[in-house]
């Protein structure tokens, strides 16, 4: 349990429910896996041999590849930009690695010292297999030490997906090391948890609580989960091959899955103060994994915030519409302070205006919410999630 009870363990009843549904959904998914294996064993275990990393993973044109050891754990990161500039720490999502930020590093490094990290268990960072090494208090302490190791007292944190989830927790637990937070395609941890029970994704998150089987399932059909998750990349894309290389072994999945094996059991304490640092929440208007409603509700945990919706982008706005995304980053990060008039207001007022089709800038209290055309069924029908097991099924359910 973390200091000052800012991050706490969920109730015993919630833990009991998680274990119960882990058993139910675990048996169900294992039966499905067995049926697929019996029906077509060759394709189930087909995997292309990948012995050497694609050139893009070791390319130094984006920055210097460096390593640092903290409490016996080696972290890999790519650094670019002058060391005398403010530090921006980039935290990727799942399943991903540092190269997720390939479109942001060159732009940000003109104004900042940029560090694109491989989270523990991902990419070229160490991959301990023990679940306890991925406890949230341990992860956050490592991130705090990492920031301090760069000779600064605080930095700007930009996170996508599970990286944003860690960014939220870091801003709550160690607000002194977070100057600004940009959360991309990810609601506040407590909002994320409350939305799980109504989503298909809840089955997968219960399934991954099991040992061994989720890792085996992730590898089937030549790591098909990577292709399904990164649908925004062409089939012959170099970076798609890079992702498959980064997740082509069983041990490449254990660490990433351990995040979900631990994060479901924690929440931000109810008596914890709202986040004092400025927060920018960015989401794509075509994100089929995240409800816009959950992003808006997350503003209840922020004193100062902006919500930005990227037109035409899905779950990866920083890759799909990177020019527009970079403009958002520069607008809010280069300025010394977040623009005036971003005081916290009740999110209920926003939701009443968002539920209809909107194509304008809506004033909301003293803050401004930039919106794009979004139909009601697009808001309500989206599925809140961060990681999915069978992505093709999700797309079939949500496409209109």
**pLDDT tens-place string over residues 218-234:** 988 888 889 988 999 98
Kindly compute the dihedral angle of the four CA atoms of residues 51, 52, 54, 57, in this order, to the nearest 10 degrees.
110
Residue 357, Cβ neighbours under 10 Å: how many? 12
- Sequence-distant (6+) residues with CB within 8 A of 306 are 278, 279, 280, 281, 332, 338, 342, 367, 368, 369, 370
CA distance 98 to 227: 18
At residue 370, does pLDDT exceed 90?
no
> Where are the chain's structural domains?
3-398
* Predicted local confidence at residue 39, as pLDDT: 78
* Predicted local confidence at residue 42, as pLDDT: 67
CA distance 200 to 332: 35
At residue 359, does pLDDT exceed 90?
no
Give the HSE-up count for residue 82: Cα atoms under 13 Å, Cβ half-sphere. Answer: 4
% of the chain beyond a pLDDT of 70: 80
At residue 365, does pLDDT exceed 50?
no
Pick the CATH number of 3-398 from 3.40.50.1820, 3.40.1160.10, 3.60.15.10, 3.60.9.10: 3.40.50.1820
**pLDDT tens-place string over residues 113-126:** 999 999 999 999 99
At residue 157, does pLDDT exceed 50?
yes
Whole-number Cα distances in Å, 35 to 30, 46, 130, 169, 384 = 9, 16, 30, 40, 28
| Paired sense of beta strands 178-184 and 155-160, if any | parallel
* Predicted local confidence at residue 321, as pLDDT: 97
**pLDDT tens-place string over residues 180-213:** 999 999 999 999 887 765 555 677 888 899 999 8
Q: Taking all residues of the chain, what is their mean pLDDT, rounded to a whole number? A: 82
Mean pLDDT of 244-271: 93
**What's the pTM value of the predicted model, to 2 decimals?**
0.84
**pLDDT tens-place string over residues 327-350:** 999 999 987 555 433 333 344 444
């Amino acid at each position: 349990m973390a200091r000052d009870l800012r991050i706490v363990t969920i109730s015993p009843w919630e833990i009991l429910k998680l274990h119960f549904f882990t058993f139910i959904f675990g048996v169900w998914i294992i039966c499905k896996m067995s049926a697929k294996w019996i029906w077509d064993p060759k394709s189930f275990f087909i995997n292309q041999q990948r012995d050497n990393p694609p050139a893009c993973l070791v390319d130094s044109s984006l920055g210097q590849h460096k390593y640092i050891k903290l409490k016996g754990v080696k972290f890999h990161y790519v650094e670019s930009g002058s060391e005398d500039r403010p530090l921006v720490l980039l935290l990727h999502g799942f399943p991903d690695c540092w190269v997720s930020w390939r479109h942001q590093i060159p732009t940000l490094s003109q104004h900042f010292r940029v560090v694109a990290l491989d989270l523990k268990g991902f990419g070229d960072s160490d991959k301990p297999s023990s679940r306890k090494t991925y406890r949230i208090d341990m992860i956050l302490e490592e991130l705090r030490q990492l920031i301090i190791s760069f000779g600064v007292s605080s930095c700007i944190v930009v996170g996508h997906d599970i990286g944003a989830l860690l960014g939220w927790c870091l801003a709550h637990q160690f607000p002194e090391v977070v100057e600004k937070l940009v959360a991309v395609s990810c609601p506040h941890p407590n909002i994320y948890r409350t939305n799980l029970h109504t989503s298909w994704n809840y089955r997968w998150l219960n399934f991954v609580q099991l040992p061994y089987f989720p890792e085996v399932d992730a590898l089937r059909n030549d790591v098909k989960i990577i292709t399904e998750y990164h649908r925004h990349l062409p089939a012959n894309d170099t970076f798609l091959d890079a992702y498959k290389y980064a997740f082509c072994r069983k041990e490449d999945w254990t660490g990433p899955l351990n995040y979900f094996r631990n994060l479901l059991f924690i929440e931000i304490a109810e008596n914890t103060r709202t986040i004092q640092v400025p927060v920018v929440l960015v989401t794509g208007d075509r994100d089929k994994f995240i409800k816009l409603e959950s992003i808006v509700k997350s503003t209840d945990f922020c004193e100062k915030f902006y919500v930005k919706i990227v037109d035409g982008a899905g779950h990866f706005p920083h890759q799909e519409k990177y020019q527009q995304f970079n403009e958002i980053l520069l607008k809010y990060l280069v300025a010394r302070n977040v623009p005036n008039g971003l005081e916290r207001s009740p999110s209920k007022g926003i939701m009443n205006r968002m539920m209809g089709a909107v194509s304008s800038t809506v004033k909301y209290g003293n803050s401004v919410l930039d919106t794009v055309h979004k139909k009601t069924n697009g808001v309500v029908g989206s599925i809140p999630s961060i990681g999915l097991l069978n992505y093709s099924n999700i797309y079939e359910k949500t496409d209109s």
